Amino acid sequence: MGHIALLAGVLQFALVFPALRRMTGPAGAAGRASAGAATLFGLAGTLAVVAQAVIDLVVGLSAADRREVNRLFDEVQSHPGVLPAVYTVGPMPFYVGLVWLMVQLAVRRRVGAWRPALVVLGTVTMAVSLDLMPLGGLMFAAALFPRDLPLFRPLGAPQLPGRAA
């Protein structure tokens, strides 16, 4: 069940990364290039995490017992490039791209500085233990939660345009 939730959550980043890039707005050629590179990094990492979740699900559903799970993982990971591309190096650009875009948004005052800090904290939390992935995911969700929803302002209070939240 956890892998299905991971897959569902990560797939949403195929929409989140381009949306964050659009939020960076016009900032000259260098700013656009930087936001574009961060987006590509993030999407490449997203692809690796999706591949990892799919492999894990297929192996888990195909195996009759833990011994067969281990055998199937060994078989899949023995193919050249699979281990770094899908399990070790490949997912890293997801986190790099997300932090990079959030920092750009904070520097341009499109979001509050607490948002990229929360993304970093969520990333570190997940790196400490895979058991903490739900907590890290909640931190990502809080950092990416839209600021103009009523939850973030008193009822009836107008949203101030351009104000970083």
Nearest C-alpha neighbor of 60 from the set 69, 70, 50, 51: 69
Whole-model pTM over 0.85: no
Distance of CA 24 to the CA centre of its chain: 17
pLDDT tens-digit readout, 26-35: 778 888 899 9
What are the percentages of helix, strand and coil residues in the chain, rounded to 5? 75, 0, 25
pLDDT tens-digit readout, 77-122: 999 999 999 999 999 999 999 999 999 999 998 889 999 999 999 9
User: What number of CA atoms fall less than 13 Å from residue 106's CA on the CB side?
Assistant: 16
